[in-house]
Amino acid sequence: MINVMLMIDEAGLGGGQKHVLWLAQKLEKERFKVTVACEGNGWLVHELHKSNIRHYAINISNRLNIKELFKIRGIIKREKPMILHTHGGTAGFYGRLAAIFLSNVKKVHTYHGIHYLNHEMNLSKRIFKWIDKLFLGLTDRVICVAISDLNEGIKAGVVNKGGAEVIYNGIEVDSYKDGIKKEQKGEEVIIGSIGRLHIQKGYKYLIDAAAILANRLPNIKFHIIGEGEERNELAARIHERGLDGIFLLKGSRENVNEELAMMDIFVLPSLWEGLPIVLLEAMAAKKPIIATRVNGTVEIIQNEKNGLLVAPENTEELADGIERLIKNTKLRDSVAEEALKNVTKEFSIKKCVSQTENVYNRIWGKIKC
C-alpha cells in the first residue's frame, strides 16, 4: 500500500480543488491510501468528508508562516506519506520545504499553470521563480497540465525536461449529461461563463463585448458564475455600460450542471490559463464554446472545429465571435457535437488518474500491496 498525501492551499470551489478531490476519490483503493491537506473549511473539505477521505487543516498563503511550516512538517512526519503530491505554487512551496531531509518521502509537484510567467517579472515574481528553481532539487517528479506549461517552464528554468511530464486534467464526462438538457426559454439567448472574478479571466472584456452586442441583438443575457476580488469593479463596469439586468454576476454555485443547462453559448475570455477544467465541463455539457487563444486553452479548443478562438483582450473580435455563434445554428451545433466527442476521447478523469498512478508507481516501483 502506497500512502499518498495530496496538498493544495485553498478549499473553495475551483479547478485545482476539483482535480485534487477526483484524484483522492479515484486512485486505486487497493494500492493507494490517500489523505488531503488544505485549508480547514470550504467546498473541498465538505466533499472530502462526504467521501470519508482523511483531511488535515492547514493555513498557508504566499507569505511565509514559520509556525504553519512546522505544523505541516509535523503532519508529514505523523502521517508518513510515501508520496507528497503538492498542487499549485503555495502548496508546492510549503509542502516541499516542510518535507526537506525526509528522505523516505517522495515529492511530486503539479503546476496548474505557471502563472507568474504571465505577468511582468517584478521582484515578487522573480522570487517565486527563484524558489521554483531551488525546489527542483527537492522534487522527484513535476507534472504540468499543459504542453505549453512544460515548454515555458523548461525555458524559464523552473522545470527539468528529464524530470517532468504532461498529464492533462480530466473530468467524469457522463456526469455532465444533465447540462445538455437546456431549459426552454423561448427566444432568449444566454451567454455564460464560470470562473473566479479575477483579472486572469478577462471578464471586463466580456462586459465590453456585451455592450456592443446589446446594441446589435435583442433578447440576449450574460451570466457569470463565480466570486472573487473583482466583483465590485466588474459590477461598476456593468452599470457604466448600461447592462443592468442584461449582464448578471450570479455568485458561486455548486451545481455546475444546472448553470450549464441554462447557457446557450459558453465563453472563456481568459488572459492566461493552465488547462481549464471549466472548458472540459462545458464541452461535456455539449455547449458551443468561444474562448481566447491562450496557453492551455489552445490545447483543448481547435478553432472552427470544436469551438471558436479569438485573441485575448480583443473586445470586437470577442463580440463578433459570439454574434457568429448566435446567428449560425449549423456552426453552433457542429462545434458543440465535436467538443463532446473530443472531451470524451482525450480528457476523461480515468485517463488522468491512470497516468498519475503511473507516476507514483514509477517512483516507488512495483511494491506489493
Sorted by where each begins, the domain ranges of the chain are: 2-170+348-364, 173-346
Looking at residue 226, the DSSP 8-state letter turns out to be B
Task: Tell me the per-residue pLDDT of 287-304, one tens digit each, with 9 for 90 and over.
Answer: 999 999 999 999 999 999
> Residues with Cβ < 8 Å from 150, sequence gap 6 or more?
144, 159, 164, 165, 166
> Residues with Cβ < 8 Å from 80, sequence gap 6 or more?
3, 104
Q: C-alpha angle with apex 77: 73 to 82, nearest 5 degrees?
A: 110
> What phi and psi, each to the nearest 5 degrees, are found at residue 30?
-75, -15
- β pairing state of 32-38 and 106-111: unpaired
> Residues with Cβ < 8 Å from 6, sequence gap 6 or more?
20, 23, 24, 34, 35, 36, 37, 85, 87
Q: C-alpha angle with apex 9: 28 to 18, nearest 5 degrees?
A: 45
Task: Tell me the per-residue pLDDT of 42-97, one tens digit each, with 9 for 90 and over.
Answer: 999 999 999 999 999 999 988 889 999 999 999 999 999 999 999 999 999 999 99
Other CB atoms within 10 Å distance of the CB of residue 327 = 10
Position 185 scores a pLDDT of 54
Q: Assign domain 2-170+348-364 to a CATH class.
A: alpha beta
Position 366 scores a pLDDT of 47
Crossing angle of helices 89-98/123-135, nearest 10°? 50
Position 184 scores a pLDDT of 53
Rounded CA gap, 153 and 132, in Å? 10
**CB neighbour burial string for 237-254, b if at least 16 within 10 angstroms, e if fewer:** bbeebebeeebbbeeeee
CA atoms within 13 A on the CB side of 261: 13
Position 182 scores a pLDDT of 56
Q: What's the chain's length in residues?
A: 369
HEC readout, 300-369: CCCECCCEEEECCCCHHHHHHHHHHHHHCHHHHHHHHHHHHHHHHHHCEHHHHHHHHHHHHHHHHCCCCC
CA atoms within 13 A on the CB side of 87: 25
Position 271 scores a pLDDT of 96
The domains spanning 2-170+348-364 and 173-346 adopt the same CATH topology: yes
pTM, rounded to two decimals: 0.92
Specify whether the CB–CB gap between 91 and 8 falls below 8 A.
yes
> Residues with Cβ < 8 Å from 123, sequence gap 6 or more?
none
Which one of 3.40.50.2000, 3.40.50.2300, 3.40.190.10, 3.90.320.10 gives the CATH number of domain 173-346?
3.40.50.2000
Position 181 scores a pLDDT of 56
Position 103 scores a pLDDT of 86
175, 355, 145, 201: which is closest to 281 by C-alpha?
175
Low-confidence residues of the chain, pLDDT below 70?
A: 119-121, 179, 181-186, 366-369
Position 186 scores a pLDDT of 64
CA distances from 42 to 12, 14, 38, 58, 113 (A): 5, 11, 9, 12, 22
Rounded CA gap, 221 and 203, in Å? 15
Q: Please report, to the nearest 10 degrees, the dihedral formed by the alpha carbons of residues 272, 200, 255, 353 taken in order.
A: 40
